[in-house]
Chain A
Amino acid sequence: MLRSLLPRLLSSVAVFLLIAIGLFTLVRLAPGDPIDMMVPPELAGAPRDAYIASVRERFGLDQPIVVQFWRWLGGLMTGDLGFSYTTGRPVGELLAGRLGPTALLMGSALFIGLVIAVPAGVIAAVRRNTIADYTISSVSVLAIAVPSFFLGMLAIYTFAVKLQVLPSSGMHSTGRDDLGDLLLHMIMPVGLLALANAANFIRYVRSGVLEELEKDYVRTIIAKGGTRTRALRHALRNSLMSLITVLAMTIPIALSGAVVLEQIFSWPGMGQLAIDALGNRDYPVLIGFGLYIAVLVLICNLIADLSYTIIDPRVRTAR
């Protein structure tokens, strides 16, 4: 198993380097200069130019781009992602600070989404073309179709403004950091994200199970005296492959933050960080964010490949 994983690991490293180069170049190519944002507006003329030059030097932006890249790559290897242009804090620290809240939000949403989606998808598949199937399928399509910001605002209006049972934003109420308070803050954003995830997964579970139920081995199980439930267990295991693929695609997206929902609920997560960095042309933060997503995608793909080999013997022996 390890031997089959090694080439993948190496190719992942190569992909990572390519992405690093790509990101670095792309951000430099973008129009606009971050230093414009840092110059105090009252400066003009020569003092302004001198100020700009000094800032350039301080951040190393006066060096040729190759040198800049080389330094940056060297820093990267030692875990140094540079400093934010706007706040001056290390990028690594900024990202790490946001990872916790986002992981908490998205992890719970993914988990709850799966807990809803697997049974619902199986029910929709087994009771195909019945009321149960139609209900589950239409709710799932509806949840995909309605934009999350709309649902978010609707939820805030209902539960925070009208009923006043849930806090409208943030992770903690001022002066409190107990678990109960955190959970209370999580209900709305997690609920909405879980709904969106579930809506997405249900469709894959349903079609995956349906496809497997059509296969001959299901008939074989019934023919040897097995119950429908037993046949379904076999089918579900076989349909896991497609779900893992979807998960491997969803997790990196989720962990990069739900930009809109984090904004609405003022959740101090990755999405907010990325939006702010974009607005300020904060290159180091943007690049750091990009690399973080790249690493997530690569890791998730590796894990997905690994799970295929665990679940599917055909993949295992094809190596």
Chain B
Amino acid sequence: MTKQTAPTPPLAVHDLTLDISTPQGKVRILEDVAFEVRPGEIVGIVGESGSGKSMTALSVLRILPAGARIVGGRIEFEGVDLATLSSGRMRRIRGRRIAMVFQDHMTTLDPVISIGAQIEEAYRIHHPRVPRAKAREKMVETLELVGVPDAADRSKQYPHQWSGGMRQRAVIAMALINDPDLIIADEPTTALDVTIQAEILAVLRELRDRRSLAIMLITHDMGVIADMADRIVVMKEGKVVEMAEAHALFSSPEHPYTRKLLDAVPQPSDATPERGRVEEAEPAALQVSDLVVEYHRSWRRQGVRAVDGVSFSVPAGQVLGLVGESGSGKSTIGKAIVGLAPITAGSIRVGDVELKALRGGQARAARERFGMVFQDPASSLNPRMTIGECIAEPLVAHRRTMSRTARHARVVELLEQVQLPAAWTTRFPHELSGGQRQRVGIARALALDPELLIADEPTSALDVSVQAAVLEVFQDLQQRLGFSCLFISHDLAVVELLSENVVVLQQGQIVEEGNARSVLNDPQTEYARRLVDAAPFPDPARQRARHVTRITNV
């Protein structure tokens, strides 16, 4: 199954131009996009959301959304122009010669059909005369290839019964089953934990090596790109702004936008400071002791212990990072503090108030002392309320006597603190970008001048450069206003940037804690090491070196 290196690249895109018609008229989405993908090569396409990288991918397979039209250029696949190919012939290329791996959403797979049947379907579409048993055999084989254990049995299950990482493997298997020449992977690991991301990326890399498969990898994560790509195409506003070999791009980026993208990535520093420096001088702003949180599903079922005996404290005016994979209980701790999850046992003290004992009005009063910033700024702001109303809401709830003008003054002050124009009080959330919305979220959390801020993955839904700007605002405010903060994140580099100390959680328990930098550079436990190793560095050379050590360690 080894293909000889073909003289022509399997995919060559020339001057691709794409328009979308909207009620306001035509909008140019792509302009003169050109690049090529050679056999056995991984080409990374990077850019922020809206840069046109996904549209480029969809154009190649001609599965564009309604209203989008290729108005110029050629998409040559082995010498045939896909842009003008008949739809029947295009169908025979889709899934067979060029396959697509989508980002894992709950709905990437049909929810009511078993995973195995859906992968088989991909095979049987292109091999209609092959008997079912043969297709099934092929399906199980492919699932095993991408590392799904018990593939024969598990393939009978439905998408909702598989974890995100497993579903992503299923989608990759679906793309691989017809042995394509080119795989287009659109943010294949974005929704996944770092450790699972590392596994999925390893699967793709191995396939490339073994089958000399060409891969077009689309992502906004510079770390993933550094880890995977041989060549990189940087896109901005529908245009290719830079194209270079991976190591060249990372070591000497030419275009200012590329430099901006690279600078925006939080870089873990190399220096390892002395370990075990603990300050206990000031009273803790937040003291969590032996916290247990259990969810009771129903009267017949046993409860789930999401947090299992966790103790830590956040010294006044400091930031503590809380790190772990999804399911580690990090968000649950944040929820327990603000009263959204039950405190089954243990205690949570904010300043000198024990939260567990509080009920009703007292609990409401205590909530004045902390603010919360949520992960998804799009859904944590009420779409029918203006920005001003959103930010003023904590004031309305807790400062009953405050006059309207005083409230307005405070809202304006808060907007200025998060570096948004004061005139925006009358705008609605949908008129703002993701980063701006998250600033509003921060402003709202700060409205009552809280002693403690709980930030639950506040930037993980944002593009890197936007993330950098929001983190800067956040850091600046923290230093100026001096609030304490519990910063929950899966991104070690972000945590290291903001916080002195870090607590690493696994399955509801603390596995490691200490100075953020030393945990990051010299993790003591297996789990923390895995977490650190899994996060790809935005530096190809270093990333390659890590692969080597990882392999030699095994």
Q: Measuring CB to CB, which residues of chain A are less than 8 angstroms from any residue of chain B?
A: 215-217, 219-227, 230, 234, 237-238, 311-314, 317
Contacts and interface: CB of A to CB of B under 8 A. Distances in A.
A217 B158 CA distance: 13
B121 A224 contact: yes
Interface string B97-130: 0011010010111111110000001100110000
A216 B105 contact: yes
Interface of B: 61, 63, 91-96, 99-100, 102, 105, 107-114, 121-122, 125-126, 158, 160-161, 171, 174-175
B160 A317 contact: yes
Contacts of B174: 220, 224
B94 A238 contact: no
B61 to A, nearest CB: 6
Given A216-B102, A224-B125, A238-B112, 17 more contacts: A217-B109, A217-B110, A217-B111, A220-B109, A220-B171, A223-B61, A223-B99, A224-B175, A225-B93, A225-B126, A226-B121, A226-B125, A227-B91, A312-B111, A313-B160, A317-B160, A317-B161
A217 B94 contact: no
A55 to B, nearest CB: 52
Contacts of A312: 111-112
A101 to B, nearest CB: 38
Contacts of A215: 107
Contacts of B161: 313, 317
B111 A225 contact: no
Contacts of B93: 225
B94 A313 contact: no
Nearest to B161: A317
A226 B88 CA distance: 10
A317 B113 CA distance: 13
Nearest to B98: A223
Contacts of A317: 158, 160-161
A152 to B, nearest CB: 40
B63 A311 contact: no
8 contacts: A220-B109, A220-B171, A222-B63, A224-B122, A224-B125, A225-B93, A226-B91, A230-B125
3 smallest beta-carbon distances between A and B, as pairs: A224-B95, A225-B95, A313-B158
Contacts of B102: 216, 219-220, 223
B125 A314 contact: no
Nearest to A214: B107
Contacts of B109: 217, 220
A234 B125 CA distance: 14
Contacts of B125: 224-226, 230
A237 B110 CA distance: 10
Nearest to B119: A224
Given A215-B107, A317-B160, A234 B113 contact: yes
Nearest to B103: A216
B158 A314 contact: yes
Nearest to B93: A225
A224 B161 CA distance: 22
A225 B94 contact: yes
B71 to A, nearest CB: 21
A314 B111 contact: yes
Contacts of B108: 216-217, 220
B127 to A, nearest CB: 11
Nearest to B91: A225
B122 A225 contact: yes
A215 B95 CA distance: 19
Contact of B112 (A224, A225, A237): A237
B94 to A, nearest CB: 4
Contacts of A222: 63, 94
Given A216-B105, A230-B125, A314-B158, A224 B99 contact: yes
Contacts of B126: 225
Contacts of B121: 221, 224, 226
Nearest to B96: A225
Nearest to B177: A224
A222 B93 CA distance: 11
A219 B160 contact: no
A131 B407 CA distance: 54
Nearest to A129: B66
A222 to B, nearest CB: 5
A314 B94 CA distance: 30
Contacts of B112: 237-238, 311-314
Question: Which of B100, B110, B111, B121 is packed against the most chain A CB atoms within 10 Å?
Answer: B110
A223 B111 contact: no
Contacts of B105: 216
B63 A223 contact: yes
Contact of A216 (B61, B92, B94, B107): B107
A226 to B, nearest CB: 5
Contact of A313 (B100, B111, B175): B111
Contacts of B171: 220
Contacts of A216: 102, 105, 107-108
B87 to A, nearest CB: 9
A312 B110 CA distance: 11
A207 B125 CA distance: 28
Contact of A217 (B63, B91, B99, B107): B107
Contacts of B94: 222-225
A237 B113 CA distance: 10
Contacts of B158: 313-314, 317
A284 B111 CA distance: 49
Contacts of A311: 112
B74 to A, nearest CB: 21
A151 B497 CA distance: 73
Contacts of A234: 110, 113
A223 B100 contact: yes
Nearest to A215: B107
Nearest to B109: A217
B67 to A, nearest CB: 12
Contact of A219 (B63, B96, B99, B114): B63
A252 B418 CA distance: 58
Contacts of B91: 225-227
Contacts of B100: 220, 223-224
A311 B111 CA distance: 10
A125 to B, nearest CB: 13
Q: Which of A220, A227, A313 has the most CB of B within 10 A?
A: A220
A216 B102 CA distance: 9
B11 to A, nearest CB: 16
A237 B158 CA distance: 15
Contacts of A227: 91
A314 B157 CA distance: 10
A2 B215 CA distance: 49
A153 B184 CA distance: 63
Contacts of B92: 225
A229 to B, nearest CB: 11
Nearest to B123: A224
A234 B158 CA distance: 14
